[in-house]
A and B are shown apart, each in its own frame.
Chain A
Amino acid sequence: DAGVTQSPTHLIKTRGQQVTLRCSPKSGHDTVSWYQQALGQGPQFIFQYYEEEERQRGNFPDRFSGHQFPNYSSELNVNALLLGDSALYLCASSFGPQGQETQYFGPGTRLLVL
Chain B
Amino acid sequence: AQSVTQLDSHVSVSEGTPVLLRCNYSSSYSPSLFWYVQHPNKGLQLLLKYTSAATLVKGINGFEAEFKKSETSFHLTKPSAHMSDAAEYFCVVSENFGNEKLTFGTGTRLTIIP
Interface residues of chain B, those whose CB is within 8 Å of chain A, are 31-32, 34, 36, 42-46, 49, 51-52, 90, 94-97, 99-107
Contact = CB atoms under 8 A, between A and B. Distances in A.
A104 B45 CA distance: 7
A17 to B, nearest CB: 25
A48 B100 contact: yes
Given A41-B106, A42-B106, A97 B43 contact: no
Contact of B101 (A42, A48, A100, A101): A48
Which interface class (under 10, 10 to 19, 20 to 34, 35 or more) fits A? 20 to 34
B102 A90 contact: no
Contact of B100 (A90, A97, A105, A108): A97
A104 B46 contact: yes
B104 A102 contact: no
A33 interface: yes
Interface of A: 4, 33, 35, 41-45, 48, 56, 58, 90, 92, 97-108
A95 to B, nearest CB: 12
Given A42-B90, A42-B106, A98 B100 contact: yes
A103 B101 CA distance: 10
A106 B45 CA distance: 9
A106 B43 CA distance: 6
Contact of A45 (B45, B97, B102): B102
B43 A42 contact: no
Contacts of A41: 106-107
A8 B97 CA distance: 34
B95 A102 contact: no
A99 B43 contact: no
A42 B44 CA distance: 11
A100 B106 CA distance: 21
A98 B52 CA distance: 14
Nearest to A41: B106
Contact of A100 (B43, B90, B96, B105): B96
